Amino acid sequence: MLDLYRLLAEQPLIVLSAIAESWRVTLDEADPIRAAETLGDAMLTPGALEGRLSRLSPGAQEALEGLRREGGRAMVKSLALRFGQLRRIGPAALERERPWQAPASPLEELLYGGLAFRAFGATPGGHGELLLVPREILDRLPTAKQPAALALPTATPPTSIIDQGLALGEDMLALLCHLRRVQPPVDTSDAEQLPEWLTAAGPLAGRWIGKPTPARLALLWRSAWRLRLISADGGRLRPALAARDWLRAPDNARAGRLYRAWRDDPGWIDLLHVPALTCDPGGCPHDPATPRRNLASLLRQIEPNRWYRFDDFTQAIKQHRPTFLRPDADLTSWFIRDAASGEYLSGPTSWEPVEGQLTLHLLMGPLHWLGMVRLGASGSEALLDRFTLTELGATLLGKGSRPPAQRPAPLAQIAQDGLIRVTLTQSCYERYQLERIAQWQGQDKAASYRLTDDSVWEGDNAGISVPQMAAFLRRIAGGGLPSGLQLMLQTWEARLGQASLRQVVLLEFASPEVAREALEDRQIAPLIARVLTPTLVTVQQSDTERLIAALRRRGIWPRLSTDGHL
């Protein structure tokens, strides 16, 4: 930090005279060095600083407080977004315009009042032109105040409300159930890419709880990989072992993991999903997690269940944290365009089209999908124009704690005809298990499932016996099963296992003699699954390659199927 005397010595005599006038100091010296020493001594006289601070405008006081919170130095570009421009005026214009008599901004008031000076250097937000407070002044400023709270007026409650609640987690459950049942093939070199079938009209159409927009489904898929809920082992997509832990976690904990997976993701670029914007490739260099964390710190300053207008919140961000997206306040070097017109957005006027639109997207997109923000609409056109922080959102942001909902007992109600209604509260893992033997029908305040002959047959083929199914149903129902349903289960059990269908390889020998020769071989015999006739045997598909090698060593060269594959 530079000292006061050095900074004063770098100023032209006319600026020193202006500073002296603001401090009510008579300056007679014609030599700039002597004038700087005299002025510096007067400014550090006990009581002088207090008097000067009392004559600052509210805007200049706020700007000085902001500089103090930044350690006495900040980028001019960043300050200008909040407090207005800081003009560069040449010597002749200084004499002619005398800008200290009517400062164009609070920053100019500090500059010509000798409380802040121009310099060049580095800050955490970047490198360039700075405004800094001299060390002696900074050390003598009154005890720091608490940072100003987010000044945000509340709005009237809306006429209609959209609340996602835990819908994103419910859709993750649906996705995991689908992957367990279908195990779709995937190119393991590109497994994390959004699959073509994951669309609003895909195989899960009608199952989604939240609106299946492309951006929301992309975030759902990205979150599944970030949380390691999916694996692509063997070229098939299926739930990973970590999915069990996530499904077993309490509702709030699952929601928290989804939020943190998005908040801290260095690879998810929200800016690319803002409908009103188009970023040229490589044209918007930034850490995508930075604006999410900055916005979270601002949301912590508002109260849950109070309504705020989008426009008011955006302007409050511009006032309190204008560099939440671009810490260096560089509004000129990005290659970002308006999606409708194709025009590049640059300069101070680009803040609302870029930062403002990103703020709206984060509120109406990810934070809403995660259940942290409710959206509201008012008026005859019912346009979404306000939001409120939910209790879940406040908890995930660290504003207190939301007590976990109690696990209901029993979890399910089971009817005679096999209809099962399961509470949504603290039942995610049980519903994941239930979908192995029952078909999902829909959900509102509870999820509905139905036992059918197809679902029981699929469960049996997954290795779940009917007695195991009945035991599970009794556990979630908290007691016995309806007599009619027990009878249905007994009927289905009697039909199961009367025939078995297996995928095997059929090996046919040319004669019983060749078959006997092969079956007597110690390397071949263990690979034969079953002898059907004197010349016909079956082999497990996994043993095919070893069997072919053993037959060839024996001098028996098998003829493969016509396409050359088994």
- Residues 475-528 have pLDDT tens digits of 999 999 999 999 999 999 999 988 888 888 999 999 999 999 999 999 999 999
- 109-123 residue pLDDT tens: 999 999 999 998 876
How confident is the model over 547-554, as a mean pLDDT? Answer: 94
Q: What is the pLDDT of residues 432-451, one digit of tens each?
A: 999 999 999 999 999 999 99
Q: Strands 446-450 and 530-533: what pairing?
A: unpaired
Using alpha carbons only, give the angle 25, 65, 127 rounded to the nearest 5 degrees: 100
- For the sheet with 439-443, list strands across it: 412-414, 419-423, 446-450, 439-443
Asked whether the beta carbons of 59 and 83 are under 8 A apart, the reply is yes
Backbone torsion region of residue 378, taken as left when φ is above 0, otherwise alpha when ψ lies between -120 and 50, otherwise beta = beta
pLDDT confidence bin for 564, thresholds 50/70/90: very low
- The arithmetic mean of pLDDT across residues 369-388, rounded, is 91
Give the pLDDT of residue 146.
56
Q: Work out the average pLDDT over 46-67.
A: 90
Task: Tell me which range, 148-152, 306-310, 375-379, is most confidently predicted by mean pLDDT.
Answer: 306-310
pLDDT score recorded for residue 148: 55
Q: What is the DSSP string of 104-148?
A: SSHHHHHHTTTS-EEEEEEETTEEEEEEE--HHHHHHSPPPPPPP
Q: Which residue has the higher pLDDT, 476 or 190?
A: 476
pLDDT at 196 over 50: yes
Residue 559: partners with Cβ closer than 8 Å, 6 or more residues away: none
Do 251 and 405 touch, CB atoms closer than 8 A? yes
How confident is the model over 221-239, as pLDDT tens digits?
A: 999 999 999 999 889 999 9
Q: Is the pLDDT of residue 315 over 60?
A: yes
SS (H, E, C) 205-229: CCCCCCCCCHHHHHHHHHHHHHCCC
What does pTM read for this prediction?
A: 0.78
Question: What percentage of the chain carries pLDDT values higher than 90?
Answer: 74
DSSP string, 475-522: HHHTS---HHHHHHHHHHHHHTTSS----EEEEE-SSHHHHHHHHT-T
With contact defined as beta carbons under 8 Å apart, do 18 and 99 qualify? Answer: no
Show the tokens assigned to 105. Answer: 């901004």
pLDDT of residue 1: 52
